[in-house]
Amino acid sequence: MLKLNKVSACYGVLQALKGISIEAEEGNITALVGSNGAGKSTTLCAISGLLSATGEIIYNGTKINGKKPHDIVKMGVVQVPERRGVFPRMSVYDNLMTGAFLRNDRGSIEKDLEKVYQTFPILKEKKKQMGSNLSGGQQQMLAIGRALMANPKFLLLDEPSLGLAPIVVEELFEIFQGFTKLGIGILLVEQNVNMALTVAKKAYVLELGKVVLEGDSKDLHNNEHVRKAYLGI
């Protein structure tokens, strides 16, 4: 269980999060939706330790805000950043292996690498190519594969569909649903609100740093405010 209790965070004098409370379970997808500037990406950065936050961020009973980002990764909480963040001058293989930097279980690392290749066969095909030579969809697969190499229990996905063709988006979201069957929890930040509410079990709507709606994704999909503001209905 990942739980945020009255979490606030600032960028300088700008308060980006204003006491939000969120719960996300392992083995399920929980969506954070909202417009630009709502605080979605800020929430993920606070969880992963990239941004200082007040309140409580608790993972499996342990308070993690205040911990170093690499310690949070060791605990199993791994972020896939917006716009992928692959290393353009490193090979696909080397990019993937950076995800396992904190691990020393060599045998398990090799097994996890094969699992990544099974999930994203194109990465095995292009393992010697530079990250910069991949398409946008392939780079997103690489960023996700790199996160999987950290052996995550919880993935923080920041706008995974950004800039991708619809057919690639559908493929990725099917893969995300497969991750949950392995017990991996996903906290999904996504501007494709329709897709996010389709795959998530639970969702939160953020506006100006506050949670304004929460509940079962199907219920929110039918909520009049959500339909008008985010679905264009």
pLDDT of residue 44: 96
Residues 156-169 have pLDDT tens digits of: 999 998 888 888 88
**Could you tell me which CATH number the domain at 1-76+153-162+184-233 has?**
3.40.50.300
- pLDDT of 194 above 70: yes
Residues 73-111 have pLDDT tens digits of: 999 999 998 877 888 899 999 999 999 999 888 889 999
Helix (H, G, I), strand (E, B) or coil at 145: helix
Q: What is the reported pTM?
A: 0.93
Q: How far is the CA of 82 from the CAs of 112, 125, 190, 211, in angstroms? A: 23, 25, 10, 21
Domain boundaries of the chain, sorted by first residue: 1-76+153-162+184-233, 84-151
Q: Which two tokens stand for residue 77?
A: 């909480």
Question: How much is the mean pLDDT over the chain?
Answer: 92
Give residue 12's pLDDT band: very low, low, confident or very high (50, 70, 90): confident
pLDDT of residue 67: 94
Residue spans of beta strands (DSSP E) within the chain:
2-11, 14-24, 29-33, 53-59, 62-63, 77-80, 154-158, 185-189, 202-207, 210-216
- pLDDT of 233 above 70: no
